[in-house]
Amino acid sequence: GVIVAGIFSVITACAETAGVVGRSGGTHPQYAWAAVVVRGVATGGLLALAPLFLPAVVHLLAGRGSAGEELMRLVHVLLWLLVIDLGATYPRVLLQRHLRLTPLAGAGLLQIIAHVGLSVVLLRLGYGAMGVVTGALVAGGLSGAFLWSRLLASPGPRWDCRIGADLWRRAVVSTARVLAGSFVGYLNGRASNLLVAGVLGPAAMSFYGMAWSASRIPLWILNQALGLVLVPTLTHVRTDTERVERVLGEGGFGRVYLAH
């Protein structure tokens, strides 16, 4: 269920990344609003098309019977995460473009604590996998509400919906480019889980999934820490090749030559 919903999330989240990195004219609120609209269209399209192919996907992964019915229920609930993430897109993009990264880190920490804490409580009460999914929804909502509170409390312009056709075009093209670079990577990272589950069964997949996730924890922590800072920061200085090379060199990534 997480993999199926994750594929949807990767597709829709590309608009948010494109809104953060865009630097070709337009104000920060305009890019944030464009990201919300593009992500909203993608989210609406996926949710509208989901009933057409979800039954076939669930049948392929879990077969028919009680297992398939449970997986379908979990996926239906997990799809609400797309709506919650859409609601938090505007403050996330705007805060990153303003390089106000502390609230983003706080929102991420709040989401993790709320998800784990609530999931443990619901599991102890006997709600099973649905309890974990419910914890994810509540944690996502709390994180989004926190981001909105920090945005509304920050000074400076926060709203600008007057977007020209050129900026719309750039937002759509940037979203497509981000999708092309990230979607295949996500599928590649999860394909092994599906193969193990199909060959050895769900129990073996659970052990494998835990081991796979544990082995990637150091990389995940590094990615969370660096990605939150590097993406919005480097997009601010993307045309300053010397400065970008120095940043990447000091970060241990070597030299990079950029063409704009």
Percentage of residues of the chain with pLDDT beyond 90: 20
Confidence check: pLDDT of 67 > 90: no
Confidence check: pLDDT of 258 > 50: no
Predicted confidence band of residue 239 (pLDDT cuts 50, 70, 90):
low
The residue whose two tokens read 């990264």 is: 101
Q: What is the arithmetic mean of pLDDT over 29-33?
A: 88
CA distances from 64 to 56, 71, 72, 82 (A): 10, 10, 10, 26
Predicted confidence band of residue 82 (pLDDT cuts 50, 70, 90):
very high
Confidence check: pLDDT of 242 > 70: no
The model's pLDDT over 181-204, given as tens digits with 9 standing for 90+, comes to: 777 777 776 777 777 777 877 778
pLDDT at position 254 is 45
**Which alpha helices (DSSP H) does the chain contain, by range?**
2-21, 28-62, 66-78, 80-87, 89-97, 102-124, 128-153, 165-200, 202-215, 217-236, 241-250
Q: What is the arithmetic mean of pLDDT over 93-117?
A: 87
Tokens, residue 131: 């309890």
Write down the pTM of the prediction.
0.73
